[in-house]
Structure 1
């Protein structure tokens, strides 16, 4: 029991710190853009973050899917883990090529689709074209981060992410202010920072007992498919953020215009930090959960799940207390033009929207746990429910009757319904799955 607790603290604390570091550099983009470009810049960034979140989700899908396959095979005594690594890299390269084509030929169409108008369209096109063009480094970084973490080196993964994040903040400032590169500078800094992380992560392979190698390898379609399936719930978790951003942006644009979208930009970027905390927790338990599952260690699985859910609730309480105490200060930091409408919308929105993280945190942890124990269908069901099936009708319904208040409350309502449905799905599945019953009780 003591070893499980120590491993849990080691992996989750390092991953939470790393994900918070990653989230802070997104927040730095928001801060610098708000200072340089005001409300219109904030609105343009919020439209653009939809694409950035999608890129991150795909990188996590490939990395986590490949790492689960790698960890499972290594726990079973298989020596084919290098194939998991090479197949993950291959998928990443192929998807990066698709993103590059989108950047070169479809930047304007994507910008209009995301909600760009005559005021925000140029900035949106610049931002998404830049991050799509440099997406290869972001995807590769996500893949190698997860493999390094699963190869018993979570500390190096954390160091790489934090140094990369700090570098991005420094580059943000240099590109946007001394060099006056505007929103392109913010996007360019975001696109370059994974390269710094990759340089740090490469040191792991000199000492890895597994010895990952880039050698000739026969394409394994079955393995490619398995990696995508195993990682898909993680992708859907990130994709949920993209769907949420896109849906909210379009509805808020209709209700309150670009100022409303800018206010949501403040809320969404603060929410990225909260999501980062729970994602860090979820990613931290993945190597442990996969390992205990491969060994059929029921007690270990049950303990990890208990620790994870308890930690999630503690984080939720800390986050909401912080929002209640400092909502005005948070909004004013991003409201350089002292826009009264923006301040009012954002302050109220923070207090309503962040109630939803009590339930969102539990959902994110459950998705990771179920995915790591190969209950992929359950994990995907919960992910899809919270990303689109329930969220979109909820925000449409609530906004129609309650305006902006309804927009903010729809996130909380969706996550609450999902956690209730997840419990019902769980209890229904227990009847036919004795192993799942053993480690999810108590």
Structure 2
């Protein structure tokens, strides 16, 4: 579906179509790590679960870079099509793909040279270090595929083919789940098997996405391009909030691991690993809603259809509130069976720590969705400053002092309450930014 055809479609139908497919795509992406968590917990045990949680911040960095380039570039691509500048859009795509490839190769080289110091810094030691090394080395070696896959998914979605974007992500994730089982259980490959299954997923997704070249409505293609500083800067600035969101997620896991280790030791890190990886699913769904809205908001912004943008936000916020309430209710009512899936050794202490954590940590889902969708929205309408501030606030500025303060006052209970308080405080500024945007006509123009 081209950008002009998209503008002619009923908005609610476009919203349902794009958001549902993007939502399922991001749900599939979250299964990369969740499947590893489940199979590692049951196939390797508590030490494997701890090692996995130590390494996850590296995955967040890779995904953050991919989404920064993908969402930033794809937003410019969609705006260019809304302004009837298709050639400029393809130049942005080609440059973004090239930059992502170079960064991925660079990360692989640096990671291979400094693997042990990096893992030690992240908190791997003793019997955890060799398990973490097995997973870490493979993820970094194939880092370029994670980054490039995120880029291509975003551009294919914004080129009017959200169905294929969803198919690539879901088929890749399904392959990851199947291979996780095969490598960890029948083949007894342990952490290396989990990592090998994970790196296979973006490769399969990219193969699926190459089918986009057969689409009759495809406008996306590689072209010769010149390095234009303003386009590169715009791509990075529009996508940077997504990087901050992902990077901060990794940083939060790192900081939480450090604090929890001092409070209760490795079993606390294992409990947090369960909570953090389950929460990835809800965060991914919220992110999927934001990414589904993004091409619609960008195209309507480029076409100056402000009434459609207002309706999009009403649809998006209604859906996030419903999903947030659903996830919180699931955590409140079904914590015990969820914990059993990851507690293969039947540890009563692990179960008790995790259950309390779920009940407190999941309160954040009642507020988180509006913040995440708003961050995506401000990027989509070329307002990176607001998006950046909100990303920084919920990802770094509030979390770090709240974590240190609450953990010193309330110990582990304070750790679990850090994220809910962060989301509530961020929501105050989010609502202020939204009110000012919709009440100020000059905000509705591309600068």
Distance 1:212 1:284, change over 3 A: closer
Given candidates 73, 76, 81, the residue that maps to 2:83 is 76
Are the counterparts in 1 of residues 22 and 166 from structure 2 also a CA contact under 8 Å?
A: yes
Shift of 1:130: 1.2
* Cα offset, 1:39, TM superposition: 1.1
Contact 2:139/2:195 (CA < 8 Å) preserved in 1?
A: yes
Partner of residue 55 from structure 2, selected from 48, 51, 55: 48
Aligned residue number for residue 226 of structure 1:
234
- Residue aligning to 1:113: 121
Deviations 1:185-205 (A, max 9, x none): 111111111111111110111
**Over residues 19-38 of structure 1, what are the superposed CA-to-partner deviations in whole Å (9 max), with x where a residue is unaligned?**
11221232110011011221
Q: Which runs of 5+ in 2 are unaligned?
A: 1-7
Q: In 2, Cα distance between the equivalents of 1:339 and 1:326?
A: 18
Q: Is 72-81 or 376-385 further displaced after alignment?
A: 72-81
Corresponding residue for 1:327? 335
Tell me, yes or no, if the aligned pair for 1:52 and 1:128 is still in contact at 8 Å.
no
Match runs of 1:254-273 below 5 Å: 254-273=262-281
With 19-28 and 373-382 compared, the bigger mean Cα shift is at 19-28
Partner Cα distance (1:276, 1:424) in 2: 25
**Is the 1:298–1:435 contact (alpha carbons within 8 Å) kept by the matching residues of 2?**
no
Pick from 185, 189, 204 the counterpart of residue 212 of structure 2: 204
Q: 1:104-183, aligned counterparts within 5 Å?
A: 104-183=112-191
Match in the other structure for 1:27: 34
- 1:304-332: CA deviation from partner (whole Å, max 9, x where unpaired): 01111111100001111111121001111
2:391 to 378, 383, 394: 383
Of 101, 126, 149, 1:93 maps to 101
**Which of 273, 277, 280 is the equivalent residue of 2:288?**
280
What is the CA–CA distance in structure 2 between the aligned matches of 1:425 and 1:282, rounded to whole Å?
16
Deviation at residue 211 of structure 1 after TM alignment: 4.3
Residue 199 (structure 2) aligns with: 191
Q: Distance in 2 between matches of 1:405 and 1:392?
A: 16
Note the C-alpha offset of 1:207: 2.2
The CA RMSD measured in Å over matched residues stands at 1.7
1:435 shift after superposition:
4.7
Could you tell me how far apart the structure 2 residues matched to 1:193 and 1:170 are? 10
Alignment of 1:303-318 (within 5 A): 303-318=311-326
Task: Quote the offset at 1:101 in angstroms.
Answer: 1.2
- The alpha carbon displacement at 1:418 in A equals 0.6
What is the CA–CA distance in structure 2 between the aligned matches of 1:206 and 1:36, rounded to whole Å? 41
In structure 2, relative to structure 1, the CA distance for the partners of 1:211 and 1:313 (3 Å cut) is closer
User: Which residue is 2:43 aligned to?
Assistant: 36
Q: Give the TM-score, by structure 2 length.
A: 0.94
The CA distance in 1 between the partners of 2:101 and 2:213, in whole Å, is: 20
Aligned residues of 1:87 and 1:220 also touching (Cα < 8 A): no
* Pairwise CA distance, 1:429: 6.2
- Answer whether contact 1:35 1:334 (CA < 8 A) is retained: yes
Report the Cα offset of residue 180 of structure 1: 1.6
Q: Which residue of 2 aligns with 1:63?
A: 70
Offset of 1:221 from its aligned partner? Answer: 3.1
Deviations 1:57-110 (A, max 9, x none): 111111111111111111111122110111111110121022111221111111
List gaps (5 residues or longer) in structure 1: none
**Deviation per CA, 1:128-160, whole angstroms, max 9, x where unpaired?**
221111011111111111111001111111111
Distance 1:426 1:238 in 2: 22
